[in-house]
Structure formats: C-alpha cells, structure tokens
Amino acid sequence: MIVKPYELDKIKNDLKFFLFYGKNEGLKRHYINQLFKNNKSKNVIKYEEKEILENEEIFFENILSNSLFESEKFIIINRSTDKISGIIIDLIERNINGVVIVIDAGLLEKKSKLRKLFEKEKDLACIATYPDTNEILSNLALTFFKKIDVSISRQNVNLIVDKCGGDRLNLENELEKIKFYLIEKKSISTEEILKLINLSENHTFYELIDHCLAKNKNKTINILNENSFSNEDCIIILRTFLFKAKKILALSIEYDKNKDINKTINSAKPPIFWKEKDIIKTQLNKWNPEKIKELIYLINDIELQIKKDYNNSILIVTDFILAQGYSEISN
C-alpha cells in the first residue's frame, strides 16, 4: 500500500516490509531512522543489493538464524533495484518472524516490479521520497542556525539551500561543514559560505584538502597555484582540514576493524556521496588511525601558530599542506 512519509507513525506496528524509493536520500534516511526507533530494534543489519545477489544462500542463513536472546532483526537493503524483487517475494512468502525488511531504492518507475508489488499489497508499505522544496530546506537551515545560536541572513540561507538540489542530505552535509568551521563564531558572511560550500569559481578548499589527504601531489600544487588565499582564509582551510581529517579517522578505525574498504564506505554515517567514494578509498589507503590522530594534533597546533603569527598565516598553512602532500604513504 502507498504510505505518505508523515503517516509512518500511524501505520500498524506489525508491518514487516517497507520500500522507500526516490532521490531524496536525506528524507529517506530520516524516515528509516524514525521507523527504526518505532520498532525499537537494536539488531540492525545493513546489506548492499549486490552483496545479497552474490551470496543469496548466506543472506537467507543470516535471516533465518535466530538466537533465543536475540532481539528483532531490522534488515536494511541499500541501493536496491528490481533485481532483488524475486528474493523479496521469497521472504514475504516465508513469513519469517522477528524480522523487519527495509528496502532503500533510488528512483523507481511506475512499471517497476518492486514498486508494483509494494503498492498493491496491503501488508507492504511503499513510501516515495520526493525532493524537498526550498521552503522546507530553508526552514530546516534556519532552525539549525537558531539552535547553535548563529546569526545568518535569509539571503545566505537561500545560498546554502540552492546548492542542495532539493535533498536534505546535501543540506545536512553542508551545515555540518559550516558548524565545524564556526566553533566560536556567532555569525557567518556570504564570502565564508561561498568558500565552505564549494560555490567559488576556482578550486575549493574542500578539493584542496581532499587531494592533499589523497597525496595527489600535482593536483595539490595546481590548486595552490591557481588560488590566491588570504590570511582570513587560513582558518577556514584549517577548520575544513580538521573536519575532513576527523571523518577519515572514524572511517579508518572502522576499516582497521573489518578490513573491507567497500563495507566501510557504504556503511558510513552520514552516507558518503558516490562521487566522493573513490578519493576517500585512496585516502583510507594512505592513512592509518595513528597517523590521522597525529595529523589532527598537528592541525590544532598549526591553528595556534597562525593565531600567534597572523601576518605569516598563508606561508605557515601552505608549508603545512605541502608537507602533507609530499609525505610518504602512511600505512
């Protein structure tokens, strides 16, 4: 049956199959998290569709195996397509107790097998996640800035929202970057926003830091040569560097545990954009947790240095970036 996202709280708790489809990844994540809380399950297992299709027998073994003390299983199947519809039908027919299946799919056409199945059957929930309007995203952004007590104009909120393409996940990522940069600041300028959210005409700080962490020496040097950074920019660069380094640290710790780089990236929270996955893989292969921790300490030290020697900020930060880009692989 077709369910509106805001109706999730009202539908029966005994529904065991949910299909979320659409391009609004942020909205999907929001409602899947809400569903998880409603079901109060602590046993969440995430799969990629490809993983299930390649190991169907193992998947069913994991689904069917139940410990006496195990809580209800909450299974999320990411990046689903019609290829998995046969397996889903099999699961429905088996009527397995103690399992909730959540299918996270992209855009599905009306003729989609999955969509037809979930829209038709009353015991299956089909939830479409359409792009958020700019008004909704603007209100989310305004609430965010109010909560952290930061002054921002409506014009600058619109600037951030326009970058997000109707997807609240994009908005959340941009707001996270901005929040990390602000720290002690209580306002933010248009110029700062442009540099932080990748809207400047030249290569952005984020690109510079990404290539530096990936040890792409030539690209790092090219970006430095193509841009004229000011002393004021140096704090933005360092805060963005720190933000990125902490994200890589969390991923690196997870990668160190499971030794599976694809699983590490695909299970990341918040989700990693597909276009960033390749460079993050490179970064994870260049840095281990201990080296990233050392880098984080160094970034904090560099910020203290430029606060003491503000006039030489550009030289200090440039030397720091070049040193990272040219250092040996840190595994």
Q: Structural domain boundaries of the chain? A: 5-128, 135-326
Distance CA 21, CA 38 (A): 20
pTM score: 0.61
pLDDT of residue 325: 66
CB 291 within 8 A of CB 284: no
Nearest to 112 by CA among 19, 3, 4: 19
Q: Using a pLDDT cut of 90, give the percent of the chain over it.
A: 24
Model confidence at 192: pLDDT above 90 = no
pLDDT of residue 41: 59
pLDDT tens per residue across span 87-113: 999 999 988 888 889 999 988 999 999
Amino acid at 35: L
Distance CA 326, CA 220 (A): 10
Structure tokens at 35: 């569903």
Model confidence at 222: pLDDT above 60 = yes
pLDDT of residue 323: 85
pLDDT tens per residue across span 267-294: 777 777 777 889 999 999 999 999 999 9
Model confidence at 199: pLDDT above 50 = no
Query: What are 178's strand-pairing partners?
Result: none
27 to 104, 175, 327: CA distances (angstroms): 11, 16, 41
Q: pLDDT grade, residue 12 (50/70/90)? A: low
Residue 276: Cβ within 10 Å count: 14
pLDDT of residue 202: 42
3-state SS, residue 4: coil
Residues 6+ apart with CB under 8 A from 302: 238, 316, 317, 320
Model confidence at 201: pLDDT above 60 = no
Establish how many alpha carbons lie within 13 A of residue 312's alpha carbon, considering only the half-sphere containing its beta carbon.
Answer: 8
pLDDT of residue 126: 93
Give mean pLDDT, residues 74-92.
Answer: 91
Give mean pLDDT, residues 56-71.
Answer: 74
Model confidence at 331: pLDDT above 50 = no
Nearest to 129 by CA among 91, 102, 111: 102
Better-predicted residue by pLDDT, 166 or 24: 24
Q: pLDDT grade, residue 116 (50/70/90)? A: very high
Nearest to 80 by CA among 111, 113, 110, 55: 113
pLDDT tens per residue across span 223-257: 887 777 777 788 888 888 888 899 899 999 999 88
Nearest to 207 by CA among 188, 227, 178: 227
Write down the CATH superfamily of domain 5-128. P-loop containing nucleotide triphosphate hydrolases (3.40.50.300)
Mean pLDDT of the residues in the chain: 83
